[in-house]
């Protein structure tokens, strides 16, 4: 895919010239910012336990194919902070000349460092965490900074005030929220609007098997002009054909087991996935491709935030963009399986 060229003994990455030919970009809510229909997340496969060259190839493969958006968080690893450090090294080696073609996001809100200031939603935590993230990544600013999850104890005004402050400091260009329910999202967007820093985007979990966003959140986002980027669109790999014949050694459920465990993948689940896989094949798609296309059929979804453990998976997922249309009959068949 990507070309390497010589120069004073060093090889430097040169991005594919065709990188913008196949990707579509969607406007993020009512903002000026366009996001690729598929974005890449660094939650897994970018830790210190992962192969550095594989991580590097994933980012190159993504960018060569029009994926301009890389999503991180302070505690992605393992250990915490490792994904940002790995990203920083790759950025320095390969992506520095492309900074203005990239959207880089990070987050704070979950457990990060010991003591009372390394978790949840205080101004103290958010502001120091972004400073640390910028240092690890070797960046002057991130494009999007998120509050990673709602904090029931901290006043929303304080958390949103911290986001606004970071934009005014020039450390983030835009801000977003993640995992907030519809009601809190509405409150947060109103506070941010009053502060003069509109909420750009919401990052919820959304896939064929987890559809909570359909009960109000997507309506709020549309009404408020906020974009939506769906995380874990493949349900961490369940919505692919990989577990149909058992548990592959190199799969997340076997290899990692922190967030996806083999005992979560039972016979009933596999029966549903088998039926979905048949529908995907009848559309001429892999199940991963159909799962991504199914999300993108809704214009309120700005981008689908995939993970990948190898470039082949990314290339497979990208082909989803070749067919985003669903007939009413196919949608009905899918609903019958998911019931
Ligand atoms: P997915 O649901 O896309 O799962 C990705 C995994 O599925 C891959 O690592 C790989 O697993 C497998 N896979 C991917 N593509 C294919 C394919 N084409 N064929 C077969 N298997 C495939 O997303 P993630 O759960 O990784 O989440 C994506 C991103 O969302 C994260 O990196 C992060 O940026 C964000 N996120 C945000 C959260 C939040 O709270 N805001 C929470 C969680 C995620 P395998 O290892 O088995 O090969």
CA 328 to chain centre: 28
Q: Pick the atom of ligand 1 nearest to 203's CA.
A: 41
Per residue in 109-126, pLDDT tens? 999 999 999 999 999 999
Q: Would the CB of 311 count as within 6 Å of ligand 1? A: no
**Going by CA atoms, what residue is nearest to atom 37 of ligand 1?**
231
Local confidence band at 223 (pLDDT 50, 70, 90 cut-offs): very high
| C-beta separation of 274 from 266 below 8 A | no
Q: Is 317 in the pocket of ligand 1 (CB under 6 A)?
A: yes
Rounded distance between C-alpha atoms, residue 200 and residue 139, angstroms: 21
Asked whether residue 264 carries a pLDDT value surpassing 80, the answer given is yes
Report the separation in Å between the CA atom of 292 and the middle of ligand 1, taken as the mean of its atom positions.
12
Q: How confident is the model at residue 10 (pLDDT cuts 50, 70, 90)?
A: low
Q: Whose CA is nearest to atom 42 of ligand 1?
A: 231
Q: How many whole angstroms from 156 Cα to the centroid of ligand 1?
A: 29
Among the listed ranges 1-10, 31-40, 302-311, 318-327, which one has the minimum average pLDDT value? 1-10
Query: Residue 235 has which token pair?
Result: 């349900």
Residue 75 Cβ < 6 Å to ligand 1: no
> What pLDDT sits at residue 8?
52
Is the distance from the beta carbon of residue 179 to the nearest atom of ligand 1 less than 6 Å?
yes
**For residues 237 and 3, what is the distance between their CA atoms, to the nearest angstrom?**
30
Q: Measuring CA to CA, which residue among 4, 20, 160, 21 is closest to residue 93?
A: 4
Q: Which residues of 243-258 are buried (b: 16+ CB within 10 A; e: fewer)?
A: beeeeeeebbbeebee
51 token code pair? 């192969």
pLDDT tens across 265-313, in order? 999 999 999 999 999 999 999 999 999 999 999 999 999 999 999 999 9
Give the closest residue (by CA) to ligand 1 atom 33. 41
Torsion angles phi and psi, residue 299, rounded to 5: -65, -15
**E strand residue ranges, 153-286:** 172-178, 199-203, 227-231
Q: What is the mean pLDDT of residues 143-165?
A: 98
Determine whether the shortest distance from the Cβ of 122 to ligand 1 is under 6 A: no
Model confidence at 6: pLDDT above 50: no
> Residue 257's pLDDT band (boundaries 50, 70, 90)?
confident
Alpha-carbon distance 107 to 147, whole Å?
A: 6
* Angle at which helices 267-282 and 328-338 cross, to 10°: 170
Please name the residue that has the structure tokens 């798609």.
285
Is the confidence at residue 259, as pLDDT, over 70?
yes
Q: Is the pLDDT of residue 7 over 50?
A: no
Judge contact between 32 and 64, C-beta under 8 A.
Answer: no
Rg (C-alpha) for the chain, rounded Å, is: 20
* Cα dist from 228 to 45, 137, 221, 244, whole Å: 24, 25, 7, 30
> Is the CB–ligand 1 distance for residue 313 below 6 Å?
yes
Please indicate whether residue 81, judged by its CB atom, sits closer than 6 Å to ligand 1.
Answer: no
328 or 263, which is more confident?
A: 328
State yes or no: pLDDT of 2 exceeds 60. no
- Give pLDDT tens digits for 37-54: 999 999 999 999 999 999
Report how far residue 269's alpha carbon sits from residue 262's, in angstroms, rounded to the nearest whole number: 12
Residue 210, SS3?
Answer: strand
Q: Is 237 in the pocket of ligand 1 (CB under 6 A)?
A: yes
Ligand 1 contact via 44 beta carbon (within 6 Å): yes
Spatial separation of the C-alpha atoms in residues 202 and 125, rounded to whole Å: 20
Residues 6+ apart with CB under 8 A from 224: 29, 185, 186, 189, 199
In degrees and rounded to multiples of 5, residue 119 shows phi and psi of: -160, 165
- Indicate if ligand 1 lies below 6 Å from the C-beta of 228: no
Q: Is 235 in the pocket of ligand 1 (CB under 6 A)?
A: yes
- Residue whose Cα lies nearest atom 29 of ligand 1: it is 41
What distance in angstroms lies between residue 308's CA and the mean position of ligand 1's atoms?
Answer: 6
CB neighbours of residue 149 within 10 Å: 16
Domains of the chain listed by start with CATH number: 19-338 (3.20.20.100)
């Amino acid at each position: 895919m990507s070309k390497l060229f010589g120069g004073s003994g060093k090889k430097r990455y040169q991005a594919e010239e065709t990188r913008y030919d196949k990707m579509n970009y969607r406007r993020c809510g009512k903002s000026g910012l366009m996001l690729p229909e598929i974005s890449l997340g660094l939650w897994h496969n970018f830790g210190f336990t992962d192969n550095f060259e594989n991580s590097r190839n994933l980012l190159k493969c993504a960018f060569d194919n029009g994926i301009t958006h890389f999503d991180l968080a302070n505690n992605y690893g393992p250990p915490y902070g490792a994904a940002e450090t790995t990203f920083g090294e790759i950025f320095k080696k390969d992506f520095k000349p492309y900074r203005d073609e990239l959207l880089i996001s990070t987050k704070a809100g979950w457990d990060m460092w010991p003591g009372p200031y390394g978790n949840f939603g205080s101004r103290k935590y958010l502001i120091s965490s972004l400073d640390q993230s910028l240092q690890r990544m070797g960046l002057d600013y991130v494009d999007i900074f998120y509050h990673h999850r709602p904090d029931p104890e901290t006043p929303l005004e304080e958390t949103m005030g911290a986001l606004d402050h970071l934009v005014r400091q020039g450390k983030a260009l835009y801000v977003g929220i993640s995992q907030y329910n519809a009601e809190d999202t509405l409150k947060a967007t109103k506070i941010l609007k009053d502060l003069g820093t509109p909420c750009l985007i919401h990052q919820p979990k959304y896939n064929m098997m987890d559809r909570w966003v359909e009960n109000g959140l997507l309506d709020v986002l549309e009404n408020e002009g906020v974009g939506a980027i769906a995380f874990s669109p493949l349900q961490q790999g369940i919505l692919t054909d990989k577990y149909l014949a058992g548990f592959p050694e190199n799969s997340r459920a076997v290899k990692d087991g922190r967030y996806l465990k083999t005992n979560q993948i039972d016979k009933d689940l596999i029966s549903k996935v088998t039926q979905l896989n048949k529908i995907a094949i009848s559309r001429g798609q892999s199940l991963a491709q159909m799962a991504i296309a199914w999300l993108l059929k809704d214009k309120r979804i700005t981008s689908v935030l995939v993970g990948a453990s190898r470039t082949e998976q990314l290339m497979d997922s990208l082909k989803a963009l070749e067919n985003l249309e669903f007939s009413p009959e196919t949608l009905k068949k899918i609903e019958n399986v998911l019931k």
